[in-house]
A and B are shown apart, each in its own frame.
Chain A
């Protein structure tokens, strides 16, 4: 199944492509470096802690799996919002945008709960190398999700004022690219940080 997207204004750029979209992809490419560095640091240092608590003592896989599922499904609602506005369905876009923001908020809430639990179990930024690298990595990811939720809520508010129509679909697409990127980063974190543990099995 395919559909014709909204007609887009053809800007005379040197590449013939919209510079905003090009810039977004360049930004996402640089974000790969950012998160790649943080994930590398975590994997290198998590087993070098001389004192506990350790990952095996803290991780609640069923809880984190639900969080991962929420973020994954938010990618589906986000792309449905884009599909809706590209067909001129503003109401549909609003509903899916709101659903995406709610799923994002649930994810961030779950992360705040997890951080609180870990803190009560004795893990802080300064406790050990695992704590430092874990909180920095997942904290920065949570900050990205929070910014994404703010962007989505801003777009939702603007759309309620009737200022987002089919011809503005690129705005939704750019927000979607950012949101999907945040999702794929969590796909990697969920696997490498939570599921792949040396102490497992």
Chain B
């Protein structure tokens, strides 16, 4: 008796089938065109604000913090909605986040090693 036969006889779903069911459930929640356009409009507005505050005479520290926050917001919107990480299987997020965290680690190590200043 194969493992597949055993699973069938016992009424146990295979990991693949479970993952497919999960993936379908995630995929069905994908946004529609209207939502994509709305998110695009938000991204455009944030970019406009970024450029505007660049020209406003605020302190350098405040400028850097504001720009980093806005940039992170844009990054998150694109990754979660346009790339569907919010809706897709968590394994995809794991793949990406691992790379992202490693990249941040490289940056931190480089900063500590080269004795440079960040901004």
Contact = CB atoms under 8 A, between A and B. Distances in A.
Interface string B54-69: 1001111001100110
B51 A78 contact: no
A68 interface: yes
Contacts of B47: 65, 68-69, 72
A33 B106 CA distance: 8
Identify whether the interface residues of B are mostly helix, strand, loop, or mixed. Answer: helix
Interface residues of A, number: 66
A16 B116 contact: no
B32 A83 contact: yes
Contact of A44 (B37, B64, B67, B110): B110
Interface of A: 1-5, 8, 10-17, 21-22, 25-26, 28-33, 35-37, 39-41, 43-45, 47-48, 61-62, 65, 68-69, 72-73, 75-76, 78-80, 83-84, 86, 176-177, 180-181, 183-184, 187-188, 190-192, 195-196, 198, 200-201
B12 interface: no
A73 B44 contact: yes
A1 B51 contact: no
Contacts of B29: 2
A37 B63 contact: no
B33 interface: yes
